[in-house]
Structure 1
């Protein structure tokens, strides 16, 4: 059915074409169509249920809205930029289908409470999807840690050799980072889970609507407590972008290690061919492009967080058109988060760790300097004095161009007489197993951590 439609846009009549082109958002917010139609379906059912709209008109509108959703999903919907946004594009198409009956739909609502509801639904979905994607990546880390449980490697501070650790311990560090990331997403979901629809433009609506019915229909656990807050707040968008940015920063640190470890200078890993690219001119290259892109996406989303905070900081209550600019930061943050988690979860199981390179690096005797200081402490030497003695011992070895194991016991005793033959027998394995404290790198503690992680994973996504 084709019928007379409303004016091009009820809010943009008489606008200079340049002003209209400057203010349209359909190129971005069309992505919200599913949520917008879901809100309209719940709203028209509620209006009919409350006797505000005749049942026959409500059914016609609901049927037409479902047809419109099918058109959008099949790629046949006629989007029109002159209609500004997704709300008015859907409304205009509704007029084409059911004529003036379409005019009932906007009873007791505003675009202000509608877009706030659309965005909350989007964020709630993104939080759920993000938390599930985090779980998939966590499973990949646990599997890698189990497969490389006893492999030693150098631990680093300042990207310098520090102390020997187990590769599995290093990998599990990312599991716990991701567990906090997952918690942030779930916390964000809980705060986004509040229905704005029914707040109207800012003051509520003068109709006997049933907001609890709307909340149930749309999957919200509660309704907003204040209509002004409901339409003007975007802190849930900030919180989601912050959670996404934090997770992506963690993944960027992982990406940096992949880039470093895949380099010939480290040689700790080999990249799977399906997740590395070649060079257009150098046939020997296998480039860690995906890890590099992950670093870049973390940078972009960190920028979006700053942009959203700056966007909101000077806005008077309630709604301001500035809020139209929240879509790109939100959508790009969601895409970057979900895309990066998905790629890493697929890539990690195919990374090949080069045990011989990792353990050769872990065998660097200078990694045992702290253990030598601890050795002296066990002999009754105060730690700071032991630290200074080992510091001087290391400087002596380096000046001689020798490793610690190449020094004689007499040379050791030159710096502290408490050194004995057993000091020369310290090795990376012993140093690792000595860190037998909760959260430490000793193999038994790593097994405990993996078991704890598995118990968390069994709780579901």
Structure 2
């Protein structure tokens, strides 16, 4: 292929380019195979944006209906496992937009009016993380409840309390467990606080400097539930900051790191307590492993692995802080690297 004959329709931004992107660069810069988990957030944000565009008279009612119909079909395809994710389309956003345009024609192209992928991805990550925090907080509550249940059954069980890992004073086993209830309570509070700052809308910032279209950002924020405790819409106030801010991801990973530190401390105590030197507790066989050469051993693999995974999450925190520390305003491609550590932190 000559350098002046490649299909410029294949790239959304290629009008000034005289040759196609290198296959190596295409693979290196693509994110679709890890950011496709944002698909629900992407569709939710796009539908709220489309409804606002129609309400503002920027697109017609017929376009809105087509977009809604197309997005419903795309949702069904993804849920059924029949959606084709294409490397050539780089990320989750372009994959969905291309399929929408294929289904509904020019209405699919008009969906992108007044927005950029920069503010789109920032919105998607916030929506996704908000939903994950909403799952994590109740799980912390369940963990606290389980510890309280065990504590209630062991109020009269006495074990040595330690300082410097030296026997210090006798304490109730229940009292010891309730110390962790306090730790996980603070973790839940931190998650709630992170959620509040995550729940702000960058959409409408466009690429970095806003748009001349008469957008109603507050309407979109309300549609997406990005409101404060009084129901007031929460939007990012500065467009440069809106597209480039990843504080919320760092804050979440910091809160998750502290939570993992508490899990690690508890795991360390379980490991010590079940050792022959202590003999305070027994961990059920279904949560332990044995040794092929030393049959007398019962290994606390689960708490050991939880203790080990703490380093993984703390490492992601360091990675995200390092990712952001040298970036000038506004958006930079570096920010593609925020997703895998954030996703893995949530999963862990």
TM-score, normalisation: structure 2? 0.92
Deviates further, 288-297 or 302-311 = 288-297
Q: Provide the C-alpha distance between the structure 2 equivalents of 1:132 and 1:93, rounded to a whole number of angstroms.
A: 36
What residue number does 1:133 align with? 139
The equivalent residue for 1:269 is: 281
- Is 1:319 the counterpart of 2:316? The answer is no
**SS of the residue aligned with 2:105?**
helix
1:10 matched to which residue of 2? 12
Q: Which residue of 9, 33, 36 corresponds with 1:27?
A: 33
1:193 counterpart residue number: 199
1:238 aligns with 2:240: no
Give, in angstroms, the shift of residue 237 of structure 1. Answer: 0.4
Aligned-partner Cα distance in 1 for 2:9–2:135: 39
Match of 1:182 in 2: 188
After superposition, the Cα gap between the structure-2 partners of 1:265 and 1:113, relative to the gap in structure 1 and judged at 3 Å, is same
Aligned CA distance change for structure 1 residues 74 and 278 (closer, same or farther; 3 Å): farther
1:285 Cα deviation (Å)?
Answer: 3.9
CA RMSD of aligned residues (A): 1.6
Q: Report the Cα offset of residue 72 of structure 1.
A: 1.0
SS of the residue corresponding to residue 73 of structure 2 reads helix
The Cα of 1:16 is off from its aligned counterpart by 0.7
2:67 counterpart of 1:65? no
- 2:311 aligns with 299
Query: 5+ unaligned residues in a row in structure 2: which ranges?
Result: 1-7, 228-233
Is 1:82 the equivalent of 2:88?
A: yes
Q: CA deviation at 1:282?
A: 4.4
Q: What does residue 155 of structure 1 align with?
A: 161
2:342 — aligned with what?
Answer: 330
The 8 Å contact of residues 9 and 88 in structure 1, kept in 2 or not, is answered as no
CA distance in 1: counterparts of 2:103 and 2:202, whole angstroms = 28
Q: State the SS of the aligned residue for 1:153.
A: strand
Structure-1 separation of matches of 2:72 and 2:275: 54
Check conservation: 1:80, 1:89, Cα contact below 8 A: yes
Note the C-alpha offset of 1:283. Answer: 4.4
User: What is aligned with 1:413?
Assistant: none
The Cα offsets for residues 195-240 of structure 1, whole Å up to 9 and x where unpaired, read as 1111111111111111111011111011111111111100000000
TM-score w.r.t. the length of structure 1 is 0.70
Q: How many residues align?
A: 332
Deviation of residue 281 (structure 1)?
A: 4.7
Q: CA deviation at 1:280?
A: 4.5
Identify the residue that residue 165 of structure 1 maps to in structure 2.
171
| Superposed displacement of residue 11, structure 1 | 4.1
What's the CA shift string for 1:263-290, capped at 9, x where partnerless?
2222111112332233445444432211
Gap change, CA 1:278 and 1:67, over 3 Å in 2: farther
The change in CA–CA distance for 1:208 and 1:18 in structure 2 (over 3 A counts) is same
| Distance (Å, rounded) in 1 between the aligned partners of 2:293 and 2:87 | 44
What are the residue-to-residue correspondences of 1:113-128 with 2, within 5 Å?
113-128=119-134
Measure, in 1, the Cα distance between the counterparts of 2:308 and 2:240: 37
Residue deviations 1:134-166, cap 9 Å, x none? 111011111111100011101112222122111
8 A Cα contact 1:9 1:84, kept in partner: no
Name the stretch that deviates more: 257-266 or 325-334.
257-266
Residues 42-51 or 286-295, more deviating: 286-295
Return the match for 2:260 from 233, 248, 265.
Answer: 248
1:144 aligns with 2:146: no
Structure 1: segments with no counterpart, 5+ residues: 1-5, 337-461
Counterpart CA distance in 2 for 1:263 and 1:74 is 48
Distance verdict in 2 for CA 1:99–1:183, change over 3 Å: same
Greater length-normalized contact order (CA 8 Å, ≥ 6 residues apart):
1
Rg larger in structure: 1
SS at match of 1:168: helix
For the Cα contact (< 8 Å) 1:311–1:322, is it kept in 2?
yes
Q: Distance in 2 between matches of 1:149 and 1:233?
A: 48
